[in-house]
Amino acid sequence: MINKLKPALLGGLIAGILCVVPFVSTCCCVWAALGGLLASFMYIKNSPAPVTTGEGAVVGLLTGAVGSLIYMIIQLPLALLFGLTSMEEQFRRSGIELPLSGIALLLLSVFLFVVLILIFSTIGGIVGVPIFEKRKGAQPPLPQDFGRGPGGPYGTGL
């Protein structure tokens, strides 16, 4: 678990920050997936054994958790300071009437972004394994008993 945390921290940091930066935040799902891919790449590079798709999913999910936390820490104060009324105006201009307004709308939008970051970073971690894992044979190495098991040195058992 510890060796999964370092790639997840870096991938989540990149995904979380890029999801908040104006002009590039419109591609938040892409940044989350790329953060998961980066974390998967780093984990595979430092893993002594071949990495499975399940491990890639765990690294991607951890990346999404870190990215979501960073997104919330940065986005909530910024939205409260600058963007609460502009968000409501954007919905009104687009013709969408929502029963929510103010803080409830902000919390709903942040929750949806957190879910999207988690989903897409996990997908990035899963997709990264077949792309970056080039080692063959995901089986553990066989014991080195050189054929001296229960059947004797030649395995005849007689």
Residue ranges per domain, the chain? 2-132
Predicted confidence at residue 4, as pLDDT, reads: 87
Please give the model's pTM, rounded to 2 decimal places.
0.74
Cα–Cα distances in angstroms (integers) from residue 151 to residues 4, 21, 123, 141, 145, in the given order: 41, 66, 47, 20, 12
Whether residue 121 contacts residue 11, with contact meaning beta carbons closer than 8 Å, is answered with yes
Q: What is the pLDDT of residues 75-120, one digit of tens each?
A: 888 877 776 656 666 666 767 666 666 777 778 778 888 999 999 9
Burial class (CB in 10 A: 0-12, 13-18, 19+), 72: middle
Q: What residue ranges in 80-155 does DSSP mark as E strands? A: none
Distance in angstroms (rounded) separating the CA atoms of residues 26 and 22? 8
